[in-house]
Structure formats: structure tokens, C-alpha cells
Amino acid sequence: MTKKQKKMLRRIIITVILMIVLHIAYEAFGAPADPVTGKTTSRWIVTEPVWFILYMIPYLIIGHDILKKAFKGIMNRQVFDENFLMAIATLGAIGIALIQQNGEYTEAVAVMLFYQTGELFQSYAVGKSRRNISALMDIRPDHANLVTENGFDTVDPDEVKTGSIILVQPGEKIPIDGRIVSGETTLNTGALTGESLPKSVREGDDVISGCINMTGVIKIQTTREFGESTVSKILDLVENSSSRKSRSENFISRFAKYYTPIVCYGALALALLPPIVLMITGNEPKWSTWIYRALTFLVISCPCALVISIPLTFFAGIGGGSRAGILIKGSNYLEQLSKIKTVAMDKTGTMTKGVFEVSGIHHSSIENEKLLEYAALAESFSTHPISLSIRKAYLDNLIWTIDEKTGEAIPKQPDEGQKEKRTLDTSRVESVEEIGGNGVLAIVDKKQIALGNRKLMDRQGVTFKECHHNGTVIHVAIDGVYSGHIVISDVIKPTAKEAIRAMHAEGVNTCIILTGDSKHVAESVGKEIGVDKVYAELLPEDKVSIVEELLSKKTDKSALAFVGDGINDAPVLSRADVGIAMGALGSDAAIEAADIVLMDDDPLKIARAIAISRRCMRIVYENIYFAIGIKVLCLILGTIGLTNMWLAVFADVGVMVLAVLNALRALRLPRV
């Protein structure tokens, strides 16, 4: 609790005690005024004016600042604020009690007391959730260990210059982006991506700030300043995100602007019109009854519950998202995200890994391992992407499982611990001849290896078997004998299929793939992961025009999202209602271009982001309907005289408390 809040709490407690004492005293020494004679039948010397003065003590203790603010508000022509309303309502109630001489001062004090208690709760709850959410998003490293001649100095990360060497101990956060110059460790990227997958890094690897060093001591040469580092950029983005207001937030501010004056004029009308009508029709005007009802009106008129709970919900939603590695750049995008009916996505790098990997060995006449080893050796001097993937497949020590029906070998990555370290003994390679556009001819272990496409096989006079799989096919012939082929293709991400299913479950009608890849490949990927439509062989500008066409066809109530890796699809990202960039860890371009940034490259997060937004919006609407509903109900009951000021203040404060508690639910992450 802050000082201000503690002071308020003291005032509330003192008032409560005083009110209890006064109540007991009143029961003992005072009696209500006789309604006929208007005189109090006090059993002792305490008379009406004395009660008035006594009750004014707690009233002023609890409400003096409200009265002061109301007075200042009038001076500054800010008439319709809640201070003014509370002041008028309570002073009015005291006035009625004075005129009727019935000693009913309790009500005015109680209304003020409840109002202040509500305000205190609100300020406490909001302050607490503000701290909680900020703590959750706080990935800011507080220090860096700058390596010096004799050990290291602990300094502010801001002071570390680019190119300095910093030391990161186990358990510490990496403060600044850089490259490891010595040491080897496991990093936890959980704070950034929401998934606590350990990642092993060693000398020469680039590391990004915000990761937690788990096992070993490492030294890092920084490649950026702190302000430019990943962690600072992300913090910046999240902190500014709730400044981009959503339509519902703007609606509420507008609503609050009109609601209060309308209720005030309504109260004025309620105080004047019925008595006048009654007077004209020759009935008793009952001024005090109608004025009392009007004052009840004023108590209900504070729009606090709405005005506080809506931004709080968005803030909690954005906070929850960032915990899951989903950065949402503004409440407006969170709102749009919940309306998504169409998701257009890039294929390469989004649904597929975007790196070419050996995906199978077919028709091999020798051991798969052996075939791959020869291929890797023959390719050991090339830097072509295909050579790299063949070498990687060999070095990764893949586990091969044979499909019983087709006899094809399918690779699987071994578990982290079971990785056997392999090296390529290039001394076994005698000569390599690269034949441009065809492949390579090499002599390995005194054997003649031909490795390449069908043209090479034709050239060598080797009969080969056609491959019906997608991807690049590398045929291998050893000493002129066909030994099988290696298929290299872009691999579909393991969660891609599940991601499409989850998106459909979250209310997305159409999932579309937009790709520059060939029709055959695109369609087979599309079919495998279960998308609804595939547009293939597109140039970057075609993607924009297709997205524009889709945008023109959709209704205002639905939205279209584009998901890409942010590298060459910036124009499409900005054209779509919501641009989602994935795999943003370390890519500034993606963070800049997109509205929503997924920190890792798991497509399941798209569905997760939609789920978060839908839950958040549901809470927003719950609060809007609930708060406005209760207020309108109380206004109606107030008009016909069925509620009193006590109920009115409960309606005001109670609704606010419930709305705030409901808003905080947005922090919890929904499952997909």
C-alpha cells in the first residue's frame, strides 16, 4: 500500500469507529423527531443540532477531500465529475435530514464511506495488478558483469559499450545481445518465448539478451548496445502496447463523457418534474421524496467500473500474451485478432521449417548410413545448400526407420543426449569434380561416387529409379552401379497440422496458404496440414493483391490475418488487418513490420494468440454489459423509489469491484 492508501485506510477505520459510537449513543440518548410536531423527544440534553454537529465530524473526516475537489471542480468548470456527484448527493441527503429533523445523517456518512472504500479498493487492486503484470513482463536484466583485467565489475547494462566482453554466470540473464567467445552452456529462452526449451550453445554462437544461462559460465562479446538489444526492444514494445487504444476503450471513454451529464440532468428532472406535475394536478408534491430519489440517481452515475475495468482487461490480456511469447502491439490489435475469420499464411518458414533437410533415402542397395556417408564425403568441399543439408544429416547421426510397405527410410533426429559426435574424414576423398547443374563426381575410399540429378545419371549411363516424392532428388551411383537416391525437402513443422486444427476450433473459417513455391509442392503441403485453400507460384506482389482481394470480400465484422516470417513479406503484413510475424527471436525486421509478434516459430501460437484475444474480448463485453446493466437497473429502481442510497452506492462500488476482479481473469492463459 502506498502512503496515500494507508492514510485513506486510517480515515475509513476512524470513521467506522466513530459511526458505531454515534449509533450506540443515538440509540441511547436520541430519538427520531416526531413527524407531526417536528420536535425531537430527546431523553437527555442532546438535541437535534447537537446530533447534526456530532455526525458532521465523521462526515468531514471521510469526505473533506471530496468536498474540496468538488469545489475546485466547480471553480475549474469541471462540473460533472464524480467528486461533485458524491458531494451533491451526500450534502443533499444531509439537507433533507435537517429539514425533516429526523436525524438520518447516517446515510450521507455511509454513502461517503462506501464510496471512499471502493476508491481505495480500486486503487489498491489496480496498483497491485499493475505491479503483477509488469513483474511478469519484466525481463529487464538489472546488471552486466563487465570483464576487466582482474576479474569482473558489476555495472549497469546501459554502460556497456559494443564489443565489450561480459561474463554471464549460471542463473543470470544475458543482459546484452552478443556472441560467445568462451564457454559452453544451456540457455533457457522461456522468458522470451514462453516455452522453456533448453538450447545448448557454445563458442561462436550468437546469443540474445533475455535468455537465462542455466549451466555453465560464458563470456560474451557484445554486438549491440543495451538499448538496441532484443530485450530492450521487446520491453519497449510491450510497455507502449496499451497506448494503442481499442475501439471498446474509445467507446467507453465516449460513453463516460455522455453518461454522467445525462444522469445528472435526469436527476434534476426527477427532482423537479414529478413534484411540479403533482402540484399542478392538485396533489401533494412530496418534494423531499423526489429529491431523495434524484440524489440516489447521482450516486449511481459514476462510470468508474467501466472506465477502469476495460483498459485493465486489455492490459492483463497483453500481459498474459507476452508471458506466452506472444507480443501484441496494441489493444486495437487484440480486438481485431478476436474477429479473425480468415488466416492467410506463408508456407516456407511459417508452416514448414524453411530449411532443406534430408527427408528420406529410397531404393538404397547398400546401408542407408553408408550411402549417406559416401554422399557427405563426396559433398564435403561444397558450400551449396544441398551439400550442407547432406553433410548435416550425416553429422546429426539421424536415426533411420524403414517404412515396411515402401522400403523407404525416414529419418528422425536423435535425442539431445544420444547425439554421437561425428566428423567427416576428408582424407578419404581423393578427388572431386563438380559438374555445374548436374552434381559431383568424386573418388572416395577408391570408389567412384556419382552424386547428382538425373542428367548426371544419364551422362554416366546409369539407370535410375524415378522418385514420386516432393523435393530435390539426389541420385547416388557407386562404381557405376545405382545405389538409391536421397530426397531433400523442406520439412513441415511438427505442430503445423495441429495449429490449423486449433485455428479452426477457435473460429477461423478459412486457412489459406500463399506461396511462391511450385503448385505441386504447395498443394501436397496444404493437403497434409489441412488448409482450406492454396495459392501457389506467387510473386511477392501477387500476395499483396490476393490479400487485398480477400479483404474486399470480407465483411466489416470479420478480420483477416496474414502470418509470415517477416523477412520478405512486410508489405503483406502491413496490408492485412492483423499482421503476425513469427520466429521473431533475433529478427528486428519482423518486430517492426508486424502487429503481433510470435517470439518463436511454433505455428500453434497463432491459434493461442486468437484464443487469448477472444477470451479477453469476452471479458471486456461481460464487463460492459454487466456494469451498464446493473447501473440501468438501479436507475430504474431508483426512479420508482425501490432503492435507497445504500443500495445505490453498493451498486456503484460493488459493480466496480466485480468488474476489476473479472478483468484480472484475462491474465490466465486459455488452452488451445
Partner 1 sequence: MKKTYSIEVDCANCANKMEEATKKTPGVKDAVVNFMTLKMNVEFDEGADEKAVMKEVLKNCKKVEDDCEIFF
628 binds partner 1 (CB under 8 A): no
Binding residue for partner 1, selected from 16, 102, 130, 235, defined by CB under 8 A: 130
What residues have CB less than 8 Å from 316, skipping those under 6 apart?
A: 129, 133, 616, 663, 664, 665, 666, 667
C-alpha cell at 555: 465483411
User: What is the per-residue binding string for partner 1 in 131-170, x denoting contact by CB under 8 A?
Assistant: --xx------------------------------------
Sign of the alpha-carbon dihedral angle for 466, 468, 473, 477:
negative
Binding residue for partner 1, selected from 51, 315, 374, 535, defined by CB under 8 A: 315
In the complex with partner 1, the residue whose CB is nearer, 81 or 532, is: 81
User: What is the per-residue binding string for partner 1 in 228-247, x denoting contact by CB under 8 A?
Assistant: -----------xx-xx-x--
408 binds partner 1 (CB under 8 A): no
- Considering only residues 59-88, where is the footprint of partner 1 by CB under 8 A? 69, 72-73, 76, 78, 81-82
Q: Which DSSP string do the residues of 507-523 spell out, in sequence order?
A: T--EEEEE-SS-HHHHH
| CA–CA gap between residue 136 and residue 407 (Å, rounded) | 51
In a 3-state reduction of DSSP, which class is residue 531?
coil
In the complex with partner 1, the residue whose CB is nearer, 306 or 372, is: 306
What residues have CB less than 8 Å from 21, skipping those under 6 apart?
A: none
In the complex with partner 1, the residue whose CB is nearer, 257 or 455, is: 257
Q: Is 490 a catalytic residue?
A: no
119 binds partner 1 (CB under 8 A): yes
In the complex with partner 1, the residue whose CB is nearer, 118 or 564, is: 118
304 binds partner 1 (CB under 8 A): yes
State the CB neighbour count (10 A cutoff) for residue 596. Answer: 28
Give the shortest CB-488-to-partner 1 separation in angstroms.
49
Q: Print the SS3 string covering 414-469.
A: CCHHHCCCCCCCHHHEEEEEEECCCEEEEEECCEEEEEECHHHHHHHCCCCCCCCC
115 binds partner 1 (CB under 8 A): no
In the complex with partner 1, the residue whose CB is nearer, 180 or 231, is: 231
The answer to whether 470 and 524 have CB atoms below 8 angstroms apart is: yes
C-alpha cell at 179: 556472441
How big is the CA angle at 601 (ends 599 and 572), to the nearest 5 degrees? 85
Element (H, E) at 618: helix 604-639
Which region, judged by CB under 8 A, interacts with partner 1, from 274-282, 302-310, 523-531, 620-628? 302-310
Among candidate residues 138, 206, 346, 532, the one labeled active-site is 346
Sign of the alpha-carbon dihedral angle for 85, 90, 92, 93:
positive
Binding residue for partner 1, selected from 103, 178, 275, 311, defined by CB under 8 A: 311
User: What is the per-residue binding string for partner 1 in 180-219, x denoting contact by CB under 8 A?
Assistant: ----------------------------------------
Report the greatest alpha carbon distance in the chain.
126
- Considering only residues 267-296, where is the footprint of partner 1 by CB under 8 A? none
Axis crossing angle, helix 287-300 with helix 247-280, rounded to the nearest 10: 180
Binding residue for partner 1, selected from 42, 100, 123, 200, defined by CB under 8 A: 123
In the complex with partner 1, the residue whose CB is nearer, 139 or 312, is: 312
In a 3-state reduction of DSSP, which class is residue 163?
coil
- Would you tell me which residues interact with partner 1 (CB under 8 A)? 69, 72-73, 76, 78, 81-82, 119, 122-123, 126, 130, 133-134, 239-240, 242-243, 245, 253, 256, 303-304, 307-308, 311-312, 314-315
* Catalytic residue numbers, as ranges: 346
